[in-house]
Amino acid sequence: MRKQKILIIIIILVIPWIVSCGGEGEVIHGLKMTEVSEEDLQSGIMDEEAGTGQTADTEQQGQPVPGPERPAVRGIYVTGPVAGSERMSDLITLVDATELNTMVIDVKNDDGEITWKMETDSVVEMGNGVAYIRDIGTLMKTLKEHDIYTIARIVCFKDPVFAQNHADSALRKPDGGFVTDAYGLAWVNPYDEEVWAYLTEIAQAALDVGFDEIQFDYVRFPIGEDADAADYKTDMSVYTKEQAISGFLSYAGERIHERGGVVTADVFGTVIDSPTDIERVGQNYAELGKRVDVLSPMVYPSHYGPGVFGFDVPDAHPYDTVYQALMLSRKVLGQDEEENCAAVRPWLQAFTATWVSGHISYEAEQIQEQIQAVYDAGYEEWILWNATCRYPMDISLEEQTED
């Protein structure tokens, strides 16, 4: 059982060691902010660290299958290296002492690595199981003892390991080279059902060791000139990007539900109401609300450009930016009228965006403002992102959420 939570006014827990995922420096869902192009800034997309042939699933308008009962999630992100280190005990203590109740843990990271020695056929064949977490069984047992809800983060279509081992699945530029991000990490084809099967295999294995929920990140198409010029091996005017992403989530979701798991999709905050961004990455917010149990829009204030929501620097307005984004979510999903729709659980900013001109520091106060915006917009779940897994938390929030 969890320890009784301590109610004090403000405790800021700072974990001194910095362990980032995907390289040094501040990383947002695996992609450093120096990768953001001027085109992306203008369109509102700022990347996070965020088989061929059409199947019957891509034509269906199915509703999310009701999953098992789960808590109202209030969580933090944890990298594989941190999950396998002594720092994990500090994060468990943080969860015990605050309103937090969930950890989102890397299972398949941005580099295509599996964060423990998973013994599925594909992982054994490619040798991409890395023992960041040396004993996954013991870790899961400990988390259950503390009543911590566990979410497996699985990076989807950015996967240099799968691209190297399955040449036909890799996205290629006209010169034959891989479509990569700015750090050379290759992407695979979101239309490729061999990729779908692999990702589902990883998800099922995560459920088998005790994870409660599967969260698909990078469940989208890459962006940029190379991505636009790539050969996707299908007629994209007939089989659209949106159909490919929805089709994969329907395919994987059916199999995850069979195992009793919950299915989540991470999406850009800007796709909520931007037809241009929807077309570019294939994430149709309203449509995906019919395909998964939970949508997690990344509504980090730092990721909205100047002028969005009427603010010269949205990063300097944590409450208002998150609130406005989530009110758009309610409108687009029709959640005041529709009942059969995914829950919405936004990613919130727990890092300081030093690259943004006019940025402010994000500490306990700024985190609390975003959380309050979630509640005021009519939602009750949220998760915090910091690539270094350092979370200043205001423990007095526990009292507010239990009233």
Mean pLDDT of 115-137: 98
Confidence of residue 337 (pLDDT cuts 50, 70, 90): low
Q: Cα angle at 115 between 208 and 34, to 5 degrees?
A: 130
Domains of the chain (ranges plus CATH)?
Answer: 27-402 (3.20.20.80)
Taking Cα atoms as reference points, which of 85, 93, 47, 34 lies closest to residue 281? 47
Higher pLDDT, 9 or 102: 102
* Model confidence at 57: pLDDT above 70: no
Q: Which amino acid is at 59?
A: E
* Model confidence at 20: pLDDT above 50: no
Higher pLDDT, 336 or 284: 284
Confidence of residue 180 (pLDDT cuts 50, 70, 90): very high
- Residues linked to residue 295 through DSSP beta bridges, in sequence order: 265, 344
Quote the CA–CA distance of 46 and 44 in Å, as a whole number.
6
Beta strands in 181-332 (DSSP E): 213-217, 262-268, 294-298
* Model confidence at 373: pLDDT above 70: yes
- Residues linked to residue 68 through DSSP beta bridges, in sequence order: none
Quote the CA–CA distance of 355 and 243 in Å, as a whole number.
35
Average pLDDT score, the chain: 85
Q: At what angle do helices 364-376 and 318-333 cross, to 10 degrees?
A: 30
* Model confidence at 270: pLDDT above 70: yes
* Model confidence at 267: pLDDT above 50: yes
Confidence of residue 108 (pLDDT cuts 50, 70, 90): very high
Q: Which amino acid is at 337?
A: E
Quote the CA–CA distance of 338 and 322 in Å, as a whole number.
22
Quote the CA–CA distance of 83 and 211 in Å, as a whole number.
14
Mean pLDDT of 270-292: 94
* Model confidence at 34: pLDDT above 60: no
Q: Is 322 helix (H, G, I), strand (E, B) or coil?
A: helix
Cα dist from 301 to 26, 308, 353, whole Å: 16, 10, 9
Cα dist from 113 to 21, 99, 147, whole Å: 11, 31, 27
* Model confidence at 141: pLDDT above 60: yes
- Exposure string of 340-373, with b = 16+ CB inside 10 Å and e = fewer, is ebbbbbbbbbbbbbebbeeebebbbebbbbbbbb
* Model confidence at 345: pLDDT above 60: yes
Quote the CA–CA distance of 263 and 342 in Å, as a whole number.
10
Confidence of residue 19 (pLDDT cuts 50, 70, 90): very low
Residue pointed to by tokens 């827990």 = 13
pLDDT at position 363:
97
